[in-house]
Structure 1
Amino acid sequence: MVKSFHLSERITNNILKAEKSNFISENKLTHEYSREGKSFHQFVSDCVNQGVISRMDVENFLFESLFYGYQREVYIYQVASCNENCMKPEIFLNILQDKYEYIDDCAYSNIANMAADDEKLVAVKTIYTNDLQRIAKIQLIFKTEVSILRKGGIVKTLSYIPVDWDVNSQILSIKFSPKRHVFDKEKQPERLKIHFIDQLKEMFNIQFIPFGNIHKEALCEMSKSLYRQIYEKMVCSKPQNLDSYVEEISDGLKKVLGVEALELKATGNNIFNIKDNIQKFTENILISDILLGAKEGATLEGVEGVVTYLKFSDGKKISARLKGRECREPIFGSESYMALRSAIENARRVNRLEVVWLGKFDRLRITYEAAETECLKVHFYKNLKEEEYKYGLQMFRKFERYGNGKLIKAVEMESQAQ
């Protein structure tokens, strides 16, 4: 007798409501679902037991939904080397079975049947090379219990940790759902990241290439480039006679102030560069006006994104943080940005950068953080879709120091220099 199927609510709590609705709709069961008024997990369980939906379809849905969705906190690593033999399918499977003996295939998914608190590898997917002799891409989903503090006490929940390893491009990413009020600090994303990355290192003998300062320099270039885009838009729209008018005002102000050796003092402190400061002030007004128009719905053609948070150091005297209101408003038109513009232009590294990308996905908001030398942390502020994840990573790689799409070359040079 076939065992009845039961999909636990502990699992489906980790899936977006929109994804659940799409699954019901794709199976042409919207009317029945609405009529019966059952919870999603119970309705799907009944449909599987009645033969209306297959178990395989449910497993595929769970895998795709848990691989992105709430998993908005992503850590990206660059793989230097691993055990090459482990990319042979039979050896790869043996390695998995040494730690998880129940894994019986390189294509394994048993998410629906694993709702207990224990840590498990619940799904494995692999893509092979054209000759089917080696593995080109690996996708894993781990499960662990996470206790949450809520009114009335501690509630045990499940968390899913997807790993995406593109063997050819040598990029490995691990994703988390940033849950609030986690009771056990060991179950915070940062700690879980270390736990599962250490497992992967041990299993496959992985060595990562440290980013060093490469990712900080990439974020610095991203920040400067996005400012240049809005600056160029301002230049194209500013009044033709503005520069000559600024010249007249600065000359007149020099005479009125009567500061001795003004030009000489300006070489040591830009505050004495009257023309430059007036120029920046007027430019800041025009940039602020452009950004205000964008906020009210105007398009910013030629501008890929705007920075809403910036943490930087010029490597000498200045280390600062700038943020827009609620980290949502652009900083380019702020008084703080104007005051620190010279320092920002001379900066070499940015530790954290929050960007609202304007070109796609209805203003996709992302934070890039380069606090760790071994990985880049990317946080998405909306529930994640695969194309958004790829776009966020693509935009980071666009601003890499060497601009050829091969971060590994830059990282190797950085490592050799240390």
Structure 2
Amino acid sequence: MLSAVPVRHAYVHVPFCASICPFCSFHVKVREAGDVAAYLDRLEEELAEIVAVVPVDLDTLYVGGGTPSYLRTAELARLCEMVERHLGRPRREATLEVHPSTATASRVRHWVELGFTRLSIGAQSFDDEVLRRLGRTHSGADALACIEWALAAAQVTSVDLMMPAAGQDVSADVRRAVATGAQHISVYALTIEPGTPFAMDGVCVDDGGAAEALSAAADLLGAAGFERYEVSNYARPQARCLHNQAYWAVAPSLGIGPSASGVVCCDDGSLIRWTNPTLDRWRVARSPLMVIESDRDARSDGGGSVEHVHGEDLMRDLLMCGLRRVDGVDLDEVTRRSGVDPRDVRRSELARLSDDALVDIDGALLAATDRGRLLLDQVTVALW
């Protein structure tokens, strides 16, 4: 049986973009006539399906993509109205991902009027040549203007940077982001995912150069007074992203829209994780939650996937997500939630990682070191 405890977090995936970036591996598509209307119709059905089987009391909402800010004013207003009617208005935080090319001062004000308290702006760089190489359709000036408008309207403005791209001056981009006054900055490593245009074109990223760039960014942001609270995220006091913190804690969260993933609790403490199918299948499939309610061991529905996570699998999930947080993960809490103590089943692996200065173990607290965060994939593979 699913838990009667309300789910407090929701992610809505908007898959539409004006164009697709060559590094992007997310489920996105270029908008065509009729796409958004059909998407919104199905979204309303999915929301009704969800609340029929899961109690919801929202603290945070995150609308991402894709490019949700690419939706027209009336389209985004309809999306927000449907979410609020079915799930309620989030009490603590509502984030909208924003592409700088979609912003004007009036549009930014409208997004805030719709209830978004946090705008996450995909600047990636402020160098026009770097942006061109990344396939971005905005300029550095567009990004700066968008940030200025967001700061004037929203409670929290976050800026995304991507590095290292060819020819990028990492220090200049970080300093420019700090100088805007944004309260939150995310620094993501450029990775080449299979099947993307970058991968097919043979674009490569030097791992050593990437580690050096990310370390330099961390030093600059720390010196500027930003607190690093996750591998890729830095915030001023009181400006951490609450939604993402819940995600890294493996808290129950709804995944709404094509390809979105969610997690709900069973009454025995185990989890059900599902991923919705991609757009074409999602339009005609029921929410996997409808199947989960009747059979928690169901494997899939309409092209999506469903997984019952418990025991050692749940322990691994809690470790993998928790190690992304600078504060680390409480091993006693992992044991309580999963029923498996990593200090027993991963004793030798933890000792080796500690000896290699990749993790610190302080009582029940396990945290990646600075070096471990740069080599986090290696750390997580060792504990898998």
Per the normalisation by structure 2, the TM-score is 0.27
Per the normalisation by structure 1, the TM-score is 0.25
Q: Which has the larger radius of gyration?
A: 1
Larger RCO (CA within 8 A; separation ≥ 6): 1
